[in-house]
Every structure is written in structure tokens, then in C-alpha cells.
Amino acid sequence: MDELTVERNVWIKATRDRVWQAITTAEQIQQWWGGEDHWEISALQVGGVIKFGDPTDLMIATIAVCDPPRQFSIEWPPQAQYHTTAMTTTYILDEENGGTRVTVRETGFEALPDDIREKRFDSTSAGYEQVLADLKRYLEGEE
């Protein structure tokens, strides 16, 4: 099966440096990421550990790419909370029209069992639309 990728993007009236801070600082992520999810980032470097989710049952991930202020990728190893499949989330920041185009891609859906693949893909697609809208509101609301 070909790689299945969720890809969503949004233009934000903010510099790439400012957007970079918002997507790579745990305290800021908690301001715009929906829900009660907890975030921790051990070190902003390749190999740094990210902890995400319910504080009593955190998912653990690793920073795979850290190229400020352009690209940030997170590798989520197989975990029970994520249907035991490995996933990769990548944020790409491009300067555009005096602001920043933020593109998020998540891959790994092809490894999901047939009976949940489409539902999970659709849910993630909708989730990233909301997350990016929340990021835009957070950053543009500062000005």
C-alpha cells in the first residue's frame, strides 16, 4: 500500500521565528493545542524526548528533525494509545506574504488495520484542521 499522509496547512500573520516558538515550546503548545493534553519536551534537538497526552498515561515520542525555523518532525513509536503503529508528524514553516505558511503532515496510516484506517485518517485530518485554526488564533490574537 502507498504511504497515506494527512496534510493540512494554514497561513498565519506571524514570523517564522514566532511560529517556531509556538510549535516547539511545551508551555506554548499547551496554550493553543486543544483539550487537556499535557506536553513536555526534554531538549529541542534531534533525539529529544516529547511526552504528550493524559499525564497519567503519556505517549512518548522522539524529535527526528529539528531545523529551526523551518522543519520540526516527531516520531511516535508504536504505543497502545495509538493503535500500536508508528507515526511521524512533521511541521514545515515557509515564509509567505509577510507571514508564515504552516504545513503539518502525519504519516503511518497505511500500517493501521483495515477496519480502523479510514476512520483514523479522517479523524486526524479534521483534528489538524482544528489544531491549525487554534494555532492561528493563538498567534494572531497576540497582536
Report the CATH number that the domain containing residue 11 is assigned in CATH.
3.30.530.20
Determine the average pLDDT of the residues in 116-133. Answer: 93
Q: Domain range for residue 110?
A: 5-23+65-140
pLDDT digits (tens, 9 = 90+) for 45-84: 999 999 998 888 889 999 999 999 999 999 999 887 666 7
The answer to whether residue 60 is domain-embedded is: no
- What digits encode the pLDDT tens for the residues 12-21? 999 999 999 9
Number of domains in the chain: 1
The answer to whether residue 25 scores a pLDDT higher than 90 is: yes
Provide mean pLDDT across the span 73-97.
Answer: 90
| 28 found inside a domain | no
39 found inside a domain: no
pLDDT of 8 > 80? The answer is yes
**Higher local confidence (pLDDT), 80 or 101:** 101
Quick one: which of 124, 136, 142, 129 has its CA closest to 87?
124
Reduce the DSSP state of residue 15 to 3 states and report it: coil
Report if residue 50 sits inside a domain.
no
36 lies in some domain: no
Nine-digit cell string for 74: 516527531
pLDDT at 70: 98
Task: Provide the 8-state DSSP code for 33.
Answer: S
- Determine contact, residues 108/79, Cβ cutoff 8 Å: no
Residue 9 has pLDDT above 70, yes or no: yes
- Assess if residue 30 is contained within a domain: no
In the predicted model, is pLDDT for residue 6 greater than 90? yes
pLDDT of residue 142: 63
Q: Is residue 44 domain-resident?
A: no
Residue 82 inside a domain? The answer is: yes
